[in-house]
Structure 1
Amino acid sequence: MEFLEPFVAVLVIFRESLKLLAKNRKLTAITLTVSILLSSLSFLILYFCCKTMSRNMIPIEFFMPIPGSSDDTINFATILIIFDEYFKIIVAFEVFVLAKSIISIYSSIATILLSVSSYNGRTITLSFKNLAKLTVQARRRQYKTNLQISLRVIGCIFVVLFVASPSMMFSGNSLGEMLWTANLVGISAACILFLYLSVAWVLGSVISVIEENCYGIEAMKKAGRLIEGKRIQGFILNIMFNFSLLAVVGFGILRDHKWLVDNLLIFGLFIVIFSCLLRFFYFVAYTVLYFKCKKSHGEEIEFPGGIVGYSKISAC
């Protein structure tokens, strides 16, 4: 029965997360609605920008010479124009990613603060103005902590690419196929390891919002200490949330190609909205996990200065 204890603990986290959301229904609805609207708007701008630019694009192959023909001249000027259109699409996508990242950061901060305001069996009156003020105040701490998380993520990506590089060199032969099979197993294991390691990283993000004097590398160190004994619970949370999103995205990708093309706008909006809902509940659950980690270590909860009614303790 010890095997089931982490799963039971995760169910308790889900139950307490729902209770926290119910205590500040108005602000929760406003925060979630703003996040969804801004994310959907950025996706719509990306979609229509790409659609408008792609209408004016002629496939590059149209300008490529036919082998053996007398005219081997390539219209380089036209190809440069086409590449310029591709470049604009790439820039539009990067702007979307940047906008979505900024929206996600502010949304996660507001979500954590809402969860904190409803903690300990009582609801603290938190106005939208005060919530916005606290969110802006916490943004720099969150940026510094996210920088540390990004460096770790980039390091993991480089490791995966280093492992996968041999199969790229020997692609097209039996050795390459064997290496691809081995890499597929290795990359799957790396993804599982990443979800395990990222438990402390996400907890560090929560700490940087709640504890005003603890952010960046210090938040990462503190998260690594606090998560001891409850890392499996965070790992299960990561698996459930990430695989839920992966399953929804995979459903659309694995369907008929024509269906995906015809319903790209609707499916894209659905993914954006679903990811916003998932991310919102994800940070509520991790805030509850933070409370439990502090309690298991016998530490008092520190509350941001704008959330009155509680005394502070030293952060790190």
Structure 2
Amino acid sequence: MDSDGEKLQHIGFLGIFKESFKIISSWKKIFTQITLLFILPLSIIFLVKVQVSDQMEQRIDWERLDYGRCGDNRLNDILTYQRLVYWLINIAYLVLLLVLSLLSTSAVVYTVACNYTGKPITFKKIMSVVPKVWKRVSLTFIWSFLIHLAYGLCMLGTFFMGVVLIGFSPFGLAIWIILLIVFLVGFVYLNIVWQLASVVSVLEEENYGIKAMVKSINLIEGKRRVTSFIFLLLVLFYGGIMIVYQIFLPDGWNLAFQLVVGIPCLVLLTFLFLFSLVIQTVIYFVCKSYHGESIDRLALANHLEAYFQPEPQREATRDVQMEQGRVATTDGPLDQVYV
């Protein structure tokens, strides 16, 4: 195993944060360009949506109150129209959020991987790779969504059966608390698996979709405590930013005060999104090193470079790498093979 792999193998909670900060500071220009193109719009859309949703919900309540008080027969038509607009805005928001999130993930993961190969990289080169990587990450997201959906339906079924069987007695409330804790733990674990699977989808040729989810589960073993603490800490930071934003930006404040509060929230949220993507990529390399999987710079560089090749050449490159893997298994140590 190379020195980078040995170093990553032994770093813990604080080491992962330190490594992530070091990568961002080393590639300031490229990460700034990625942030301005993908992550900043993502943060703006996220914060604007909060304000728009609050205002539309208030408007629906006001119109229900005003027209209801006057006995106006147009109330149902007006409320139907308002709800339609509300849901269309939410659908458009979710689509934009998903697209920008997947593009950001693809660009940041690829950039961090290039950091470990030591190869020069430009923003133009990253942008030419992102569309190809994005397809793999999208497929992994679809599988993750289906797994989250199945998990949510199972929990709803469990809660429904609990209502029928145990009700809300003191004993039943204790059972509800236990079920809620189990649900939250499972939800956190699924999100960690999905985030790591997104990295796997970019960096491993054969692993995307459900295969990336399975590989992610295997990688997390032995590092679940560290990854869980990091995930929860990032969620707490996110929650703190959103609480400040929603408390101090009501409609009653003037524009100057809203800017004083809103701009710092936007900057912090943007950096948090960037840092979260970098840190989940670092966790991938830490987990690989922990399991004794060497970070072979040459093989990783060849894999990343293959994204620039036409599909027939990529297939040929993959065959060569697989052949090298079989030779290494027979004649050399297995842990020097990346793919």
Residue 156 (structure 2) aligned to one of 140, 157, 161: 161
Residue 125 (structure 1) aligned to one of 120, 123, 134: 120
SS in 2 for 1:175: coil
Alignment partner of 1:9 is 2:12: yes
Residue 81 (structure 1) aligned to one of 78, 81, 104: 78
Q: For residue 149 of structure 1, what is the aligned residue in structure 2?
A: 144
Residue 18 (structure 1) aligned to one of 18, 21, 31: 21
- Tell me which amino acid in the other structure corresponds to 2:156: L
Q: For residue 332 of structure 2, what is the aligned residue in structure 1?
A: none
CA–CA distance in structure 2, aligned partners of residues 135 and 162 of structure 1? 39
Please identify which structure carries the higher helix content: 2
How far off its partner does 1:291 sit? 1.2
Residue 103 (structure 2) aligned to one of 97, 101, 106: 106
Q: For residue 217 of structure 1, what is the aligned residue in structure 2?
A: 210
Residue 288 (structure 1) aligned to one of 256, 260, 282: 282
How far off its partner does 1:184 sit? 4.7
Q: For residue 271 of structure 2, what is the aligned residue in structure 1?
A: 277
Alignment partner of 1:64 is 2:68: yes
Unaligned runs of 5+ in 1: 1-5, 67-73
Q: What does 1:161-200 align with in structure 2 at a 5 Å threshold?
A: 161-165=156-160, 175=168, 182-200=175-193
SS in 1 for 2:207: coil
Alignment partner of 1:231 is 2:224: yes
Preserved contact between residue 31 and residue 107 of structure 1 (Cα < 8 Å): yes
How far off its partner does 1:53 sit? 10
Alignment partner of 1:204 is 2:206: no
CA–CA distance in structure 1, aligned partners of residues 113 and 151 of structure 2? 32
State how many pairs are aligned. 294
TM-score calculated relative to the size of structure 2: 0.72
Change (3 A) 1:179 1:97: farther
How far off its partner does 1:75 sit? 4.1
Change (3 A) 1:290 1:53: closer
CA–CA distance in structure 2, aligned partners of residues 37 and 250 of structure 1? 19
Preserved contact between residue 68 and residue 75 of structure 2 (Cα < 8 Å): no
Change (3 A) 1:261 1:169: farther
Preserved contact between residue 16 and residue 282 of structure 2 (Cα < 8 Å): yes
- Tell me which amino acid in the other structure corresponds to 2:109: I
Q: For residue 262 of structure 1, what is the aligned residue in structure 2?
A: 252
SS in 1 for 2:116: coil
Preserved contact between residue 16 and residue 279 of structure 2 (Cα < 8 Å): yes
SS in 2 for 1:239: helix
% same residue: 21
TM-score calculated relative to the size of structure 1: 0.76
How far off its partner does 1:164 sit? 4.1
Change (3 A) 1:277 1:160: farther
Preserved contact between residue 148 and residue 190 of structure 2 (Cα < 8 Å): no
Residue 38 (structure 1) aligned to one of 41, 60, 69: 41
CA–CA distance in structure 2, aligned partners of residues 241 and 168 of structure 1? 34
Which stretch of structure 1 is more off in the superposition, 144-153 or 188-197? 188-197
How far off its partner does 1:226 sit? 2.3
How far off its partner does 1:289 sit? 1.6
Q: For residue 249 of structure 1, what is the aligned residue in structure 2?
A: 242
CA deviations 1:29-68 (Å, max 9, x no partner) are 11112234322553577556985897698522333379xx
The root-mean-square deviation of aligned C-alpha atoms, in Å, is 3.8
- Tell me which amino acid in the other structure corresponds to 1:304: L
Q: For residue 138 of structure 1, what is the aligned residue in structure 2?
A: 133
CA–CA distance in structure 1, aligned partners of residues 307 and 211 of structure 2? 23
How far off its partner does 1:143 sit? 0.6
How far off its partner does 1:288 sit? 1.3
CA–CA distance in structure 2, aligned partners of residues 235 and 190 of structure 1? 15
CA deviations 1:108-142 (Å, max 9, x no partner) are 1111111111116x4x2211111011111101100
Change (3 A) 1:244 1:169: farther
CA–CA distance in structure 1, aligned partners of residues 45 and 245 of structure 2? 21
Preserved contact between residue 64 and residue 79 of structure 2 (Cα < 8 Å): yes
Preserved contact between residue 169 and residue 176 of structure 1 (Cα < 8 Å): no
Preserved contact between residue 141 and residue 216 of structure 1 (Cα < 8 Å): yes
Which stretch of structure 1 is more off in the superposition, 141-150 or 275-284? 275-284
Preserved contact between residue 168 and residue 176 of structure 1 (Cα < 8 Å): no
CA–CA distance in structure 2, aligned partners of residues 89 and 299 of structure 1? 49
How far off its partner does 1:151 sit? 1.2
